[in-house]
Amino acid sequence: MKRVLKRLDSVHEQLVACVTSLEPAVYSEQPADGEWSVGEIVHHLCLVEDRVIKELEGAIAKAPRRVPFLRRLIPTSIVSLRAIRVKAPKAMNPLMPPPREVAIQNFDRARANLKALCDTHGQERLRNLVFKHPVLGEIDGVATVSFIGYHEKRHYKQIREVLRKLAADSRG
């Protein structure tokens, strides 16, 4: 669990440092029609993390239950692969993202809440709950926290792609 949380912190720090340094216009600009701006990506990450926390809290309130053995073998790292396109569930679409400072505060708050949940309930309890992921299926709580880190890594890569496109457009 310590390794999962360390990776979670590492990716979060990189993403926030990248986003904090952006000009507001760059933060809000979509690279093309139908593509998310950096601000929309950050808002999406916060929406997902808040939803995951809510779902984990609901699962913790239920009787302990283990994910079947074979389901535990699914690597959550596949989420970070940008080659596999996944459409966000409608509720996770980043409509009207807040200004950058508010978005980062919301994102940091969500991360603090997730880590507090992990500290409060511990690895053993998280191993004994079931989270239903729309793509990965049933995973346990530790895998869910791991998913959050890889999901953030995926979108950090997306942010860097957006910034490359915007830089190319400004030169071109």
pLDDT digits (tens, 9 = 90+) for 39-84: 999 999 999 999 999 999 999 999 999 998 877 888 899 898 888 7
Residue 53 backbone dihedrals phi, psi, to 5 degrees: -60, -45
pLDDT of residue 168: 87
Domain that holds residue 138: 2-26+36-171
131 belongs to a structural domain:
yes
97 belongs to a structural domain:
yes
31 belongs to a structural domain:
no
Per-residue model confidence as pLDDT tens digits over 98-135: 999 999 999 999 999 999 999 999 999 999 999 999 88
Tell me the CA distances in angstroms from 9 to 33, 49, 65, 150, one per residue in order. 32, 14, 28, 11
Percent of the chain, pLDDT > 70? 99
What CATH number has the domain bearing residue 94?
Answer: 1.20.120.450
115 belongs to a structural domain:
yes
164 belongs to a structural domain:
yes
> How many domains in the chain?
1
Specify the pTM.
0.94
- What is the widest separation between alpha-carbon atoms in the chain? 58
Percent of the chain, pLDDT > 90? 80
Q: Write down the mean pLDDT value for the chain.
A: 94
pLDDT of residue 125: 97
